[in-house]
Amino acid sequence: MAQPGWRDAPSPPDFSLLKRLARDQLIYLLEQLPGKKDLFIEGDLMSPLDRIANVTTLKQHEVDKLYKVEHKPIVSTSDQLCFLIRPRVATVKWVSDVVNSDKAAGRFRRYKIIFCPQKFYVCDAVLEEEGVYGDVTTDSWHFYLLPLDEDIISMELPEFFRENFLEGDQRWVETAGNALHLLHSLYGPFSKVFGMGRCAKMAYESWRELQEESEQKSRRADIGTVFLVDRDVDYVTPLCSQVVYEGLVDDIFRIKCGSVEFGPEVTSSDKSVKVMLNSEDKVFSEIRNEHFSNVFSFLSQKARNLQTAYDKRRGMDIQQMKTFVSEELKGLKQEHRLLSLHIGASESIMKKKTKQDFQELLKTEHSLLEGFEVREAIAYIEEHISRQVSMVESLRLLCLLSLTENGLLPKDYRALKSQYLQSYGVEHLLTFANLRQLGVLVEQQPGETLTVMESKVGKLVNDKTAGKLTDAFSSLAKKSNFRALSKKLALVPKSDEEYDLRVPKDMAYIFSGAYVPLSCRLVEQVLERNGWTGLEEVTRMINRHEFAVGAGGGGPEGGEKTDAQRVILVMFLGGCTYSEIAALRFLGRERGLKFIVVTTAITNSGRLLEALLDH
């Protein structure tokens, strides 16, 4: 598909600046409380903090002891306490309890709360309610964005998804706006902004307000185009089993903040090893985007190359040996270590995936995506529950079924749901309610009644309103009409031809050639058309809320694009998966573009569903 005349993709801007800014501000905030102090850190801030400032840096700025926030009474002898926390009610309440218990014991200390990334009004309200407002000083550490890799930036806000999409709590939208503003002021000005979804629109508005307030500096842009996507635009993609290497590693070992802990079964020793997974790992960077079936052959090729490199030693004279040892050996050793780790991980993945009959699972998923042999798929899901394979996996398949089939037939819905409840407890009634609210797992509306209603009402009004009515009914019938979308956007390639996973021809390779991720296809289409023109039907099926700013006219632009215009920032509100990132990387390579992914958090099917569990 690569077109002649496309240059190589430009290199991404230097995001280490974001880290430096965050570190400098943190140091400034710590200096605001002079003297020795103990620092309490919220658990989920520990790994991100570790990327910004290590213990030595903290100690240099008079942090005496470090504690993890555990919501228990504290044991600190310091006269100054500093709390580095997320703006959550429970944590602020705990801090108030600490202050109040000191007061009761007649102990005097100084307290400072640093909220990351920003303070919410409710935090002050809680402090006031608990009677400690005057006893603590508060500050915000504007640490919005953590670069995980040269093309991935995470806001590390996993709660964004549940709070925004399920609970309708929109306070994080402003945070997303602030993050955009930060990126804009450092790497902008952005010339084009595309968006899809309610939250995306709000985040855009929030950013635009900020931008209007602040002064405009003219600088050469590093990033030209921004694309905002809500997670609820596409639930199918994150719910599919991941089969590219990085996605699989995340599904099985859970990558946390860009690093993964390989247990003894991978390291084949008795201890676990923590490995950073990014482009600096030369072995990983070559296999991360590969379909898993290619990984083994690649790794063994790599191992042979390595052996050859080692073998070079033989027949060297002293001088050559000296250069070899000083220049090459260290690199080889490092590569050797990484290679053996990744081989271990691959073996472990193989073992797990073959045990659960992974092939059959994938077959079921593919038939759901294609819409063939749905009854067999349902039977498979039923057996999945009967065999008690996994609580979350069963739920995932149910959701995938509902999303692809416009909801479940009432009979199936009831039967499967009661099987599930009997197996995993009646508390999951609440989980099902959550899933229904999101539209991820629903009961099919009796289709006939709606159509009948539509035609009846349609006769009473004129043509123009009738069109609107059809829209209304179609959106009533189903939030996202997957099958129609799939046809319109050619998400499911023709299954009769063999798909060569070694030489992928489109983004579908990330799902073994069975499905092009909807989210990424939308990005591709909009960029190709330089706007939403021609996609009206598609946008109607995904509930509108699309927007495009700064795109001149319709149709693709002529002429060469500048480097900045070829750097495209895609922001996922509610999380994105490593598979989606792999798909965008593929798209970038094909089109000579560089995609930068900003996400509220890295997600996968497990994290997504666990966020919706209620038990």
Partner 1 sequence: MAFVTATWNPLGEAFYRKTEVYEMGWRLSSGLRDCLVAAAPYGGPIALLKEPQRRSPSARPQLEIYSSSGCSMASFVWKSGVVKHLGWTVSDDLLCIQEDGTVLIYDLFGNFKRHFSMGNEVVQNQVLEAKVFHSPYGTGIAIITGAFRFTLATNIDDLKLRRLPEVPGLQGPPTCWAVLTQDRQSKVLLASGLDLFILDNTACSAVTPPGLSPQVCSIVQMCVSFSYKYLALFTDSGHVWMGSANLKEKLSEVETKVKTPPKQMVWCRRPKSHQPSVVMMWERHLLVAGDLTFNLCYGYHLDEESVLVPELDGVRIISSTHHELLQEVPAACEEIFKIASMAPGALLLEAHKEYEKESQKADEYLREIKEQSLLGEAVRQCVEAAGHEHDIETQKILLRAASFGKCFLSNFPAEYFVIMCRDLRVLNAVRSYTVGIPLTHTQYKQMTCQVLIDRLVYRKLYPLAIEICRYLKTPEYQGVSRVLKHWACCKVQQKEESDEAIARAVSVKLAEAAGISYSEIASKAYECGRTELAIKLLEFEPRSGEQVPLLLKMKRSQLALSKAIESGDTDLVYTVVTYLKNEMNRGDFFMTLRNQPVALSLYRQRLEARLSLLQSAVDEYNKAKNEFAAKATDEEMRLLRFQRRLEEEKGEQLLGLSLQDTLRVLLSVGLNKPAEQLYKDFRVPDKRYWWLKITALADKEDWDELEKFAKSKKSPIGYLPFVEVCVKKHNKSEAKKYISRVTPEQKVKAHLAVGDLEGAAEAAIERRSEAEISMVLSRCLSTTDRGLVDRLNRARSTTAKK
Shortest Å, Cβ 54 to partner 1: 18
E strand or H helix at 192: strand 192-196
Between residues 62 and 124, which has the closer beta carbon with respect to partner 1? 62
Q: Does 426 bind partner 1 (CB under 8 A)?
A: yes
Q: Does 228 bind partner 1 (CB under 8 A)?
A: no
Q: Is 425 left (phi over 0), alpha (psi -120 to 50) or beta?
A: left
Report the C-alpha gap between 611 and 2 in whole angstroms: 39
Between residues 70 and 357, which has the closer beta carbon with respect to partner 1? 357
Report the C-alpha gap between 448 and 436 in whole angstroms: 21
Q: Which of 161, 424, 509, 515 binds partner 1 (CB under 8 A)?
A: 424
Q: Does 536 bind partner 1 (CB under 8 A)?
A: no
Q: Does 411 bind partner 1 (CB under 8 A)?
A: no
Q: Does 425 bind partner 1 (CB under 8 A)?
A: yes
Between residues 90 and 429, which has the closer beta carbon with respect to partner 1? 429
Report the C-alpha gap between 160 and 322 in whole angstroms: 55
Between residues 341 and 377, which has the closer beta carbon with respect to partner 1? 377
CB atoms < 10 A from the CB of 359, how many?
10
Shortest Å, Cβ 23 to partner 1: 23
Between residues 125 and 426, which has the closer beta carbon with respect to partner 1? 426
Q: Does 347 bind partner 1 (CB under 8 A)?
A: no
Q: Which of 330, 351, 414, 487 binds partner 1 (CB under 8 A)?
A: 414
> Which string of DSSP letters, residue by residue, matches 254-286?
--BTTEEEE-HHHHSSSS-EEEE-STTSHHHHH
Between residues 383 and 536, which has the closer beta carbon with respect to partner 1? 383
Report the C-alpha gap between 38 and 45 in whole angstroms: 16
Shortest Å, Cβ 77 to partner 1: 8
Shortest Å, Cβ 429 to partner 1: 5
Beta strands at 146-149 and 152-154: parallel, antiparallel or unpaired: antiparallel
Between residues 391 and 597, which has the closer beta carbon with respect to partner 1? 391
DSSP secondary structure code for residue 135 in this structure = G
Q: Which of 54, 137, 388, 562 binds partner 1 (CB under 8 A)?
A: 388
Q: Which of 101, 307, 418, 465 binds partner 1 (CB under 8 A)?
A: 418
Q: Which of 42, 130, 373, 382 binds partner 1 (CB under 8 A)?
A: 382
Cβ 374 vs Cβ 368: under 8 Å: yes
- List own/partner pairs for 350-358 with CB under 8 A and 24 or more apart: 352/252, 353/248, 356/389, 358/241
DSSP secondary structure code for residue 374 in this structure = H
Cβ 369 vs Cβ 514: under 8 Å: yes
Choose the binding region for partner 1 from 24-32, 370-378, 384-392, 551-559 (rule: CB under 8 A): 384-392
Choose the binding region for partner 1 from 46-54, 256-264, 381-389, 530-538 (rule: CB under 8 A): 381-389
Q: Does 455 bind partner 1 (CB under 8 A)?
A: no
Alpha helices in 118-214 (DSSP H): 121-129, 159-161, 171-187, 198-213
Q: Which of 129, 169, 265, 383 binds partner 1 (CB under 8 A)?
A: 383
Distance of CA 182 to the CA centre of its chain: 20
Residue of 183, 39, 159, 150 lying closest to 89 (CA atoms)? 159
Q: Which of 19, 363, 417, 545 binds partner 1 (CB under 8 A)?
A: 417
Number of residues that bind partner 1 (CB under 8 A): 19
Peptide bond just before 117 cis, omega within 30 deg: yes
Shortest Å, Cβ 458 to partner 1: 29
| Positions that interact with partner 1 (CB under 8 A) | 36, 382-383, 385-388, 414-415, 417-419, 421-426, 429
